[in-house]
Structure 1
Amino acid sequence: MRRGPFRDGAFTSALHEPRTAVVLGRWLGAALLVCFLTGLTSHLLQDPPHWLAPRLPSRPVDGYRITQGLHVISGIAAIPLTGAKLWTVYPRLFEWPPARSVLHALERLGIAVLVAAVLLELCTGLLNTLQWYPWPFPFRQTHFWLAWLAIGGLLIHLAVKAPLVARHWRARSTPAVAGRRGFLTAVGAAVGAVTLTTAGQTVPWLRAVDLLAPRRPGQGAGGLPVNRTAAQAGTVTVPTDWRLVVDGPRPFRIGLAELRRLPQHEAVLPIACVEGWSVSARWGGVRVADLLARAGAPPGAAVRVTSLEAEGPYRVSELPAPYAADPLTLLALRVDGEELSADHGFPARIIAPNRPGVLQTKWVARIEVLA
């Protein structure tokens, strides 16, 4: 007789047991925690609350490159770990009766929310690395709140399961199960394989095995990948009389020829994008701090940068005071010794250390000093 959706004995593998689940849970929990913390860092750098913006650090130079690279690496590693963990525990998901008490029903509801949030978070995050958005809701905001739902559900689940986890935390406290070591080794190998073949889009010394990553650094105009081309942004044609507007206590306009005659500086800085890829280049141009000094900006002033783009979510960005004052923050006119191409922001773009690529505004039209 059926007592639930499956007959008795439907789950025959000995690996559907607590010790295997605890080991996989440790690995998966570590990946999700790293993914959550680095994702929170990215969110705060992209959209800081007003009290945090003046305190955001512009150093280390590669800070965002490292944290966002870890975010995508840990997120991709969590995908096979989640599959293995769900395979191990899925007989429990179909236990019968589905709810034995109110507390048991609440526990199972929490597990359902946790599993749904983690799967949706990993799925949308992976598709974001491909820049494919087959859904009607905004990705960044949804991804942010799903992360809180997933991490909250995880903490509640750990609190409920703490006694069981404690009993099976150490190998010597549980009996040996045939095939456990081989299964865990296979899962570890799968995680290692997807990590090694995707992390090269961020980690330079792994680029030789960068086989599955959605982006290959070194490809694109001037050897730099481009997320948003001039054609996509609608800025293919730059006005022949283009002049940068610098708005401050002493506002001025300045053309490209005069910008080239100002003191020029170079900095090796990465373009690091939210999709997880990054690549460094040698940028040349005028320090933003020098332009602000000429405009009479007070010390500690933040900056609003406006692009020639007609529309787009990042057409306008803000440079908090630490970035605006950093001597490495440039209004770049060149990259690797060559004039900027249209896709890289000709005639001028912002390049700053420890900053998401979407905020490195291209096709700059206006720099405005903020109070």
Structure 2
Amino acid sequence: MESEPADSGTPPRRRYDPPLPAPPAFLRRGPFRAGAFSSPLHEPRTVVAVGRWLGAALLVCFLTGLTSHLLQDPPGWSAGHLPTRPVNGYRVTQGLHVISGLAAIPLAGAKLWAVYPRLFEWPPARSVSHALERLGIAVLVAALLLELFTGLLNTLQWYPWPFPFRQTHFWLGWLATGGLLVHLAVKAPLIAAHWWRRAVPALSQRRAFLAATTAAAGAVTLVTAGQTVPWLRSLDLLAPRRPDLGPQGLPVNRTAAQAGTVTVAADWRLRVDGPSPYRLSLAELGELPQYEVELPISCVEGWSATARWTGVRVIDLVRRAGAPAGSAVRVTSLEAAGPYRVMEMPAPYVEDPLSLLALRVDGQVLAADHGFPARIIAPNRPGVLQTKWVERIEVIV
């Protein structure tokens, strides 16, 4: 029952454990040959050290991703309880989601490099339990890599796959997180044995490797986080969006040309449906009490920007239509098609005094790309739900 010394850098092996058999002679080449992996960093201490940071990044990414999904597509029981405060809540959580996801990419690469020699262990499976363990790791790695890859391309708004991104990304997150928890449970004794231990062999190499990994993750964060964090904006070199560039100083994801709303009919009128329906022209909307609020636009790709919006309170419009207290609304856009052409706004947002049907931004009439003649702006909501080119507001009792 004796074990190897604590500073050996290898997992303790009991004296009576039989050595692993060598692969057949015809396989003893390439990665299967003896001594194929000479780096002393392919060992548990390095894996655990990198895994701590990777696990933290994935935990933040998963929890903030759940927040985003809940706000975009709330279950029926939760729609009436969604928070409108803090007004920057979605900006912070979605910014953290993208930042932690990008930081996880170099961390995952370092972790996989440290463990990849285990792919060439012989025999591939020593028992049924060992085979199931390796299968679980394969599912975990595949789900994690696909999750990070699709998330990265989403920040670029590039979708080269045939499946819907948001739903696939959501379920991949659960699959990867579940696989990670099972993996941690199986490897818990090994992780505990190497959590704080500083193995003597290759100590300087390990420090250099961990420093390089930390620098890579830090660099990725610094040159992309500026799309969310204002004081890092000068370092925003690789992020796909500059939050201060675009019409009227704001970025645009979907233009009026893409939505088919470049030309709005001169006789456009807002339709408000409820117990007492009515219609208003743009001039009549401008004659109603106007309010100015300072709110951010925060998009799922990670960028966000704050602006001053001027318009009519949503609650004033629906009350005029005879809506009872606690009513939600359904907002329809002029755009011909699109997954967010119709948006439902739960009661907490309808009744919040900061929720506007905005007619101006930063003192200027809305540009076509920002939703002229009118758009929704509300606190703590994803940008895709801040509907542009509004033509109808319908009370849902």
User: Shorter-chain TM-score: which interval?
Assistant: over 0.9
2:200 partner amino acid? P
Residue of structure 1 equivalent to 2:115: 89
- Name the aligned partner's letter for residue 344 of structure 1: H
1:267-286 to structure 2, matched below 5 A, reads 267-286=293-312
CA displacement at 1:93 relative to structure 2: 2.0
Q: Structure 2 regions of 5+ residues with no counterpart?
A: 1-24
Aligned residues: 370
Name the residue aligned to 1:59.
85
The CA RMSD over aligned residues, in Å, is 0.9
The 3-state SS of whatever aligns with 1:207 is: helix
Take 2:28 and 2:62, find their aligned partners in 1: how far apart are those partners?
40
Shift of 1:176: 4.5
Match of 2:69 among 28, 43, 48: 43
* Secondary structure of 1:171 counterpart: coil
The aligned runs of 1:1-371 (5 Å cut-off) are 1=25, 2-3=27-28, 6-172=32-198, 174-178=199-203, 179-371=205-397
Match of 2:56, SS state, is: helix
Supply the AA of the counterpart residue of 1:55: H
Write the letter of the residue equivalent to 2:380.
N
Q: TM-score, normalised by structure 2?
A: 0.92
Q: Is the 8 Å Cα contact of residues 3 and 96 (structure 1) preserved in structure 2? A: no
Q: Deviations over 1:293-319 (max 9, x none)?
A: 111111110010000011100000011
Deviation at 1:177, TM superposition (A): 2.4
CA distance in 1: counterparts of 2:88 and 2:120, whole angstroms: 47
Instruction: Work out the CA distance in 1 between the residues paired with 2:57 and 2:32.
Output: 32
Determine helix, strand or coil for the equivalent of 1:343. helix
Q: Distance in 1 between matches of 2:377 and 2:122?
A: 59
Q: Matched residue of 1:98: which SS? A: coil
Cα distance in 2 for partners of 1:289, 1:157 equals 50
Q: What amino acid sits opposite 1:39 in the alignment?
A: G
CA contact (8 A) 1:283 1:332 kept: yes
Letter in 1 for 2:366: L
Deviation digits for residues 171-208 of structure 1, max 9, x if unmatched? 34x33523011110110011110100000000000000
Please report the TM-score for the alignment, with normalisation by the length of structure 1.
Answer: 0.98
Percent identity of equivalent pairs? 78
Q: For the Cα contact (< 8 Å) 2:274–2:394, is it kept in 1?
A: yes
Deviation at 1:3, TM superposition (A): 4.6
Question: Matched residues in 1 for 2:200 and 2:262: separation?
Answer: 67
Q: Deviation per CA, 1:124-158, whole angstroms, max 9, x where unpaired?
A: 00000000001111100100000000000000000
Distance in 1 between residues matched to 2:287 and 2:211, nearest whole Å: 61
Q: Does structure 1 retain, via aligned residues, the 8 Å contact 2:40–2:201?
A: no
Per-residue Cα deviation, 1:45-90 (whole angstroms, up to 9, x for no partner): 0000100100001111000000000000000000000000000011
Q: Distance in 2 between matches of 1:316 and 1:65?
A: 22
Between the aligned partners of 1:278 and 1:244, the Cα distance in structure 2 is 28
Whole-angstrom CA distance in 2 between matches of 1:307 and 1:186: 49
How far apart, CA to CA, are the structure 2 residues paired with 1:278 and 1:298?
34
Does structure 2 retain, via aligned residues, the 8 Å contact 1:349–1:362? yes
Aligned to 1:292, the other structure's residue is in SS state helix
Contact 1:114/1:150 (<8 A) preserved: yes
Gaps of 5+ in 1: none
Residue in structure 1 matched with residue 17 of structure 2 by the alignment: none
- Whole-angstrom CA distance in 1 between matches of 2:253 and 2:224: 18
Q: Which has the larger radius of gyration?
A: 2
Q: Distance in 2 between matches of 1:70 and 1:171?
A: 31
**Cα distance in 1, alignment partners of residues 276 and 317 from structure 2:** 11
